[in-house]
Structure formats: structure tokens, C-alpha cells
Amino acid sequence: MKRTLAQEAAKKIGKEVIIKGWVHTVRSHGKIAFTDILDRSGLIQVVGSDSTAEKITSLSQQDAVEIKGIVKERGERYINEDLATGKIEIEASEINIIANSETVPFDMGGKDLTLELPTLLDHRALTLKHPKVQMIFKIQASLADEFREAAKKLNCTEIFVPTIAAGATEGGAEVFKVDYYGHEAFMTQSPQLYKQIMVGVFERVFTIAKAYRAEPSVTTRHLAEATQMDIEIGFIESFEELLDALEFVGCEMIKNTSEKYPEILDAFGIEKPLISSAVPRLTLREAQDIVTKRTGRDLSGELDLNPDDEKEICDWAKEEKNSDFVTITHFPTKKRAFYTMPDSKDPEYSLSYDLLFRGLEILSGSQRINDYSQLVDAMKTKDVDPKNFGTYLMAFKFGMPPEGGFSFGLERLTMKLLGLGNVREASLFPRDMERVDERFSKIQKEEDQ
């Protein structure tokens, strides 16, 4: 008999089925016992009596099982509205363990998995199996998919770019060094330089790529290895064309994912995102003026928005413009990477932008310098050695049109959409200075013994 998924069982009332999955909970009442089984489609309740009740009672959480039984409608008073399969259950006739589980170190059968972050990560191969944790990564998969769909609608071609490079993308010390056949090389801090080269090839490109930052501290929003979703567009007619593109992609991802998984947003207590027909746009200075008016904080002389400012300006956008998004433009040239195009009308400020969503920056980008000499000068100003960027610079020698682009952090976007407290919760296997899967302190301790 072919396996039936939990979600398909409702269509087979009265029929015999085989389901497979993991034991989520066991509830024994003597001669009758229940187990909730989790498979890739969701949870389903199984009931056993007498010998199958005994068998159910002997099951452990996370045992992988195969159960044969009849699909039955539950009585009116036993319907579980919280469960997609809550109107049915399987009356078991045969229960086989496919793979035994060790005793789990904490209850995996609750609606939530309330563990401290270090415990959650120390047991990652187990904790990821919890339905509430799984939801985070279903949202993540959807965001990535919707990103690609939106990029394709913008006529972008997908590219696969390298992560080992001869120079550090944006300069600075926060890079991981690789021993590359005896030569020194670096893990790229972003796909930035390669996607720019590819504008000279396909005009419009996108990539989902790894970005490596040797962050010297542990914060709630940074990962040592993150996933970036990048777009770059050439032959632009104006700076505004870039803003249109980034807002289109940002809104598509959030809107379509929210509509696809309303039950996950519900489970995390998240309201449906407010997406207005036009995302409000402010220059940094306009945004600072609004924050000052609303809070009295003096931001003159500030070169960026701090996290409190970002929250405040998002509150403004929600209250005044009915939007959970707000685009901030024209950050100071000296605060942005070397390839950022200064605003010709006021070169101290640049044709750059961030997209904020519910109080957090989820996207960053700019129009780029597309003239070779201006680019080399900009590198030198920022102490980036052109010598390490030969292939990158070559692209600007052969007719690079006006262009720009942007980049979303996939984990950060996932975190923000679900209101998680730490970006590590939105990374399957987060890398930071304290751990690569296992904590260094733990490994060290074992080695010392």
C-alpha cells in the first residue's frame, strides 16, 4: 500500500491507509492511547486500543514509525480546531518502528519550544525537528523563492559567483582568510563585485550567495556566514528606477509569503504586513527631521540612523503612510562602500538606499560608480588597493552603463517577518565567533580532559 501523508488522510475517510512520520506526542489512558504523528505535511492523531494502545504507550518522542489504520471522523466534541487534520484520526491496526529515537533531552511535543538560544543551538539537529522551528525555515524557503520569481519578472538572469577572492570586497579587517594552495585568499563579504561585472554581460542579474563577515562581536543581527539575495541592473534611466525595482522585489517577497503561509504568521502572533501601493521614500535628512520632530532627539551630525531611529521612522511610516516599509535614501558618501555613486548635486551624500521593514533594515544598495577612473579614485580614497581587483576593474574599461543594485539578507528578513529576537534563530546552522555547530568552549573543555 502506498503511503498517505497526514494532510491527504481527510480525503480517505473510512479507508485503510499507511502513514509514516515521527512521534510528536504520546498520551496514554490505559486501554486507549493517542499519538500525534508528524510528517512533512503536518500532524495527525492516531488512536489505539488494547494491544495497539500498549504499543503506542511504548513509543518515544521522535521514533520514526509506520502506522496502518482506518481514517475515522472524530466525534463533534473531539474536533481539534488547532490542527489542520483536527476533524479526523487514524484508528491504528499496526504500528511499526522504522527507526528508534534516543530519549529526547527536553519535551519536543509542545506547541512551542521554549529553550534558551544556546540550548536551542547546542541541540540543533533535534530542535529543528520541532514544528514551530520548522515554520521559520518554510518561510525562509518561500522568501528565497519569491525573491527569484520577482527577479525573473524584472528580466534578471541568475548567476553563480565565486566566494573565494583575491581581495576583500569592501576592504576592512572583518574578513576570513583562506589558505588557498599556499596563497592568501579571502571569503567574499558579498557577491557585489561579481554581480557588477555581470551587468556588462546580461544587463540584469540576480544571485543568492553566501556572504562572510568575521564580525568581531556577538550581536542579535549579525552572522559570520549569511545568505544574500542580490540584484544588479544596468542601463538604468534614473536613480528612481532602482528604487522602483527594490520596492517591487521587497513587497512581492513579503506579500506573497504572507499570503502563502497565514497560519505561520498566526502561530508567531504576527499581523499581516501593511503594504501600501507606494512605499514612502525619505532622504536620510528628511527621516532625521521626522525623528527629531517626533522624539525631540537631536540628530544633526549623525551620519546614519541608529536602531531606535529606524524603529521611530517605521512607526511614522505605519501611522502616516499605512506602510510597514519605508525607503531611506542619500546616506553620506563616506559611510558607504567605495563603489557607491555620490549624488552629483551634493557629493557629500550618495545615491544609496536602505529599505526598512518594521523597524529594521532588510536591504541596502546604491547606484554605482560606472566610470573606470572615478572608480579607481574612489577605491584609493577608501584605502582599497586596485591591484587586488583587476578582473572587477576590467569590467569598467569596456562600456559599463549606469547601473545599480541591492541586496537582501535572507536570515535577517526571515527574522524580521516572524518577529524573532535573534538572527541565529533564522539560520539553520548559524556561524558566529562562539561556534561552528558545536560551541568552541565545549570542544575546548573536552580536549582539556
Please name the residues in contact with 22: beta carbons below 8 A apart, sequence gap of 6 or more. 37, 38, 39, 62, 63, 64, 65, 101, 129
**How many other CB atoms are found less than 10 A from the CB of residue 118?**
13
Least Å distance, CB 119 to its own copies, is: 13
Residue (118 or 307) nearer to its own copies, CB: 118
Q: What is the C-alpha separation between 170 and 196, in angstroms, rounded?
A: 14
**How many other CB atoms are found less than 10 A from the CB of residue 258?**
19
Residue (187 or 284) nearer to its own copies, CB: 187
Least Å distance, CB 287 to its own copies, is: 31
Least Å distance, CB 435 to its own copies, is: 9
Least Å distance, CB 123 to its own copies, is: 7
| C-alpha torsion sign, points 218, 220, 226, 232 | negative
Amino acid at 13: I
Q: What is the C-alpha separation between 328 and 307, in angstroms, rounded?
A: 14
Least Å distance, CB 88 to its own copies, is: 21
Please name the residues in contact with 284: beta carbons below 8 A apart, sequence gap of 6 or more. 304, 305, 328, 329, 330, 331, 332, 349
Residue (13 or 201) nearer to its own copies, CB: 201
Q: What is the C-alpha separation between 187 and 320, in angstroms, rounded?
A: 43
Amino acid at 203: E
Task: Quickly tell me which residue has 484508528 as its cell.
Answer: 91
- C-alpha cell at position 378: 574612489
Least Å distance, CB 234 to its own copies, is: 8
Residue (78 or 235) nearer to its own copies, CB: 235
Question: Containing H/E element for 417?
Answer: helix 410-418
Residue (149 or 348) nearer to its own copies, CB: 149
Q: What is the C-alpha separation between 289 and 300, in angstroms, rounded?
A: 9
Residue 262 to residues 145, 164, 256, 311, Cα–Cα distance (Å): 17, 39, 10, 24
Contact 65, 25 (CB under 8 A): no
Residue (306 or 374) nearer to its own copies, CB: 374
Least Å distance, CB 113 to its own copies, is: 13
Least Å distance, CB 62 to its own copies, is: 4
Residue (261 or 302) nearer to its own copies, CB: 261
Residue (33 or 165) nearer to its own copies, CB: 165
Name the region of 182 (left: φ>0; alpha: ψ -120 to 50; beta: rest). left
Least Å distance, CB 179 to its own copies, is: 5
Residue (111 or 387) nearer to its own copies, CB: 387
